Amino acid sequence: MLHMDYVTQKLLGIQDLNITFREDWLTFRKDKRSRLAQIIEGSLEKRPSCCPSCGVIWESTKDVYAHGTTPKKRQIQLTEIDNKPVYLELTVRRFKCRHCSVVSANHLPNHFVKRRKSISVKLHLKILLELKDTTCIKKIASICKTGYQIVYRTSLELTNYVKNLEPGPLPRVLAIDEFKATQDCEGSMAFIAMNWESGQIHTILDDRRTHKLLEFFNGYSYEERCKVEFVVMDMNAAYDSMVKKVFPKALVVIDRFHIVQQLTNAFKNVRIQEMNQLNRYSGEEAKKYRRLKRFWKLLQKNYSDLSSEAKYHSLFQRYLSAQDIALELIDYSPVLKEAWNLYQLLLGYFKDRNADYFFDLIRESQNSEILPQSFRDKLAFLLKKEESIRLALSVPYNNGLVEGTNNKIKLLKRSAFGFRKHEHLFARIYWMQTPAVHSI
């Protein structure tokens, strides 16, 4: 019997395992999935140091003797090489204890392969690394050149791993939101809370209803809940009342994206109302309608961000810049012009984080006789959240971290064609946000 050279063993990750190899240790044949695989043949001859049953130390043949080999060769899948699966196929020597007559065999070390596993630790870690992405299980099995069930069982191990995790201490800055999970959730939407400073998930609950959130957060001591200084969220009124009950010293910070979204939706409704009053089928009004429908995005943007470079536009039959088009479109309606001017001023003040001018302008707009009541009501809603919005303009916190995680959740659900149980989905979400990959 000849040993494989050490460099090759190191390349394959099977060095120092007490395995001996024949001269023709590499063969090619089809595996049980009918794929051409590379088979590395060897034998594990070394006897254990003691009897696993009675504990007697085996020092000589007076204590133990060889008792044939295991009925079946042990096959362990390694990481793929040259886009082909690789298997280590071992003939394992058995030994019989003379003291208790128990037959046993030596085991490979846990750093190479875990007990009752058919894949190496390296391949196991590679699967875990792939599970950190939004890739579906079938695709991961194809990438790792292994079976679907192996990857699926690894993902189930993630579920058990997450179940045993205990929620950590409450962070100083807590970002909260909801997302659509699975049908077996108790509520229509799931709840997610993240540590804004570390970027890690604090908790995921399968119910976003207030009584469930109160039950969870009240599980922390009063002193622990007092450590939360800021809670970043959208304009959900239920969350607002929950935060005031649970976190006595926390300040609510409204996400700046949702503030701008409130402004854009208010102006968009005015534009649609004015468009619907035009005759879209004939005459000059039909041209105005087509232009508003074609270039409506220019009105939604900040005027200072529009291009001043003139281009030819067939709907106007002349050269115009994006800024020129926006100015011409608002002249089609005095209501649209008044709402657009107010909208642009509010965007400018918000961008400059000038809270005084921002809210003064909203208050003045409530007395306008030109602006529609629906538009003024949407702006008045911001006055109810004035304290939180002022805080949002003075601190660097936002909900971009949670929104980005929610987007990854949507991609994960789409690539996996949905999840049947929320435990499996939550485990993948936790694992995707784990900073390091380790064996479980």
CA distance 129 to 79: 13
DSSP-assigned letter for residue 29: E
SS3 69: strand
Q: Are strands 190-195 and 173-179 parallel, antiparallel or unpaired?
A: antiparallel
CA distance 238 to 144: 45
| DSSP-based three-state secondary structure for 40 | strand
Nearest C-alpha neighbor of 264 from the set 333, 374, 344, 337: 344
Instruction: Return the sign of the alpha-carbon dihedral for residues 424, 426, 429, 434.
Output: negative
Nearest to 210 by CA among 218, 202, 221: 218
42 strand-pairing partners: 21, 90
Global pTM reads 0.82
Query: What domains, with CATH codes, occur in the chain?
Result: 6-118 (no CATH), 128-163 (no CATH), 173-255+398-427 (3.30.420.10)
Q: Which two tokens stand for residue 284?
A: 């000059």
Burial category of 438 from C-beta neighbours within 10 Å (exposed 0-12, middle 13-18, buried 19 and up): exposed
pLDDT per residue of the chain (440 residues) written in tens, 0 to 9: 455 777 888 888 887 778 888 778 888 999 888 889 999 998 888 888 888 888 889 888 888 988 888 888 889 999 998 889 999 999 999 999 988 988 988 888 888 888 888 999 999 999 999 999 999 999 999 999 999 999 999 998 888 888 777 778 999 999 999 999 988 888 789 999 999 999 999 999 999 999 999 999 999 999 999 999 999 999 988 999 999 999 999 999 999 999 999 999 999 999 999 999 998 888 899 999 999 999 999 999 999 999 999 999 999 999 999 999 999 999 999 999 999 999 999 999 999 999 999 999 999 999 988 999 999 999 999 999 999 999 999 999 999 999 999 999 999 999 988 888 888 999 999 998 877 655 56
Q: Where are the beta strands (DSSP E) in 325-371?
A: none
Kindly report the CA angle at 220 between 214 and 225, in degrees rounded to 5?
85
